[in-house]
Amino acid sequence: MAASYDRRASRWDRVLGLDAGRRWVCERAHGDVLELGVGTGLSLPHYPPEVRLTCIDATSEMLAVAQQRATELGVIADFRVGDAQALDVDSASVDTVIFTLSLCTIPMPARAIGEAWRVLRPDGRLLLIEHVRSPNAVIRTGQRLLDPLFRRLEADNLFREPLEHVRRLGFRVEELERSACGIVERLRATKP
């Protein structure tokens, strides 16, 4: 999907305000930052210049686009192919873990958030934006109908609830915002 991702993403960005969400997430990053499921790097323009950034994705095709974008933007980052569910990263070694709209695609989001917990230092920060189940019953019914299609065509799950895993692991939720009829969730949480 690497070649067509940006074009398809920009449609949803306009409808759901996703790029503003990426900015919200990335501007809260600090220190050693690990972005999981970076895709084509649509988050890259939004990072503060002083962060030390490592970006991981499952596919080299997406990473190649992200690397090209980083070069054009003058963003320095380490790009690695990897699995967010089983990271080749030392425990307690990063200050910030970021997911921007990747937990809807990563097959086992609970495991990926568990890995975020493992690699974060105490007081480390988890930041994410994701589309989730709407609290509005009519919209939720629409999401339920569309979910099989999205999963099949885009590997995109419309019924993920990352907050449940974040709370279960013991993260302290510091900021939580919903927008776009409750479909889009932004979260800042701290590992105690």
Which listed residue (65, 101, 128, 166) binds ligand SAM by CB under 6 A?
101
Rounded distance between C-alpha atoms, residue 73 and residue 154, angstroms: 28
**67 touching ligand SAM, by CB under 6 A:** no
Query: What is the maximum alpha-carbon separation in the chain?
Result: 44
Q: How many residues does the chain have?
A: 192
Which listed residue (54, 96, 102, 134) binds ligand SAM by CB under 6 A?
102
User: 154: exposed, middle or buried (C-beta count within 10 Å: 0-12, 13-18, 19+)?
Assistant: middle
Q: How far is the CB of 84 from ligand SAM (least distance, A)?
A: 4
Which listed residue (16, 25, 29, 37) binds ligand SAM by CB under 6 A?
37
Which of the residues 142 through 181 are near ligand SAM (CB under 6 A)?
Answer: none
Rounded distance between C-alpha atoms, residue 103 and residue 50, angstroms: 26
If the CB atoms of residues 9 and 180 are measured against ligand SAM, the closer one turns out to be 9
Which listed residue (25, 26, 54, 57) binds ligand SAM by CB under 6 A?
57
Q: What are phi and psi of 150, to 5 degrees?
A: -65, -40
Which listed residue (106, 113, 126, 128) binds ligand SAM by CB under 6 A?
106
Q: How far is the CB of 144 from ligand SAM (least distance, A)?
A: 20
How many Cα atoms occupy the beta-carbon half-sphere of 113 within 13 Å?
28
If the CB atoms of residues 90 and 137 are measured against ligand SAM, the closer one turns out to be 90
Which listed residue (84, 97, 127, 158) binds ligand SAM by CB under 6 A?
84
How many Cα atoms occupy the beta-carbon half-sphere of 27 within 13 Å?
8
Cβ-closest position to ligand SAM: 39
Give the bridge partners for 100, in sequence order. Answer: 129
Write the single-letter amino acid at 130.
E
Q: What are phi and psi of 101, to 5 degrees?
A: 60, 30
- The footprint of ligand SAM (CB under 6 A) covers 9, 22, 36-39, 42-43, 56-59, 62, 83-85, 100-102, 105-106
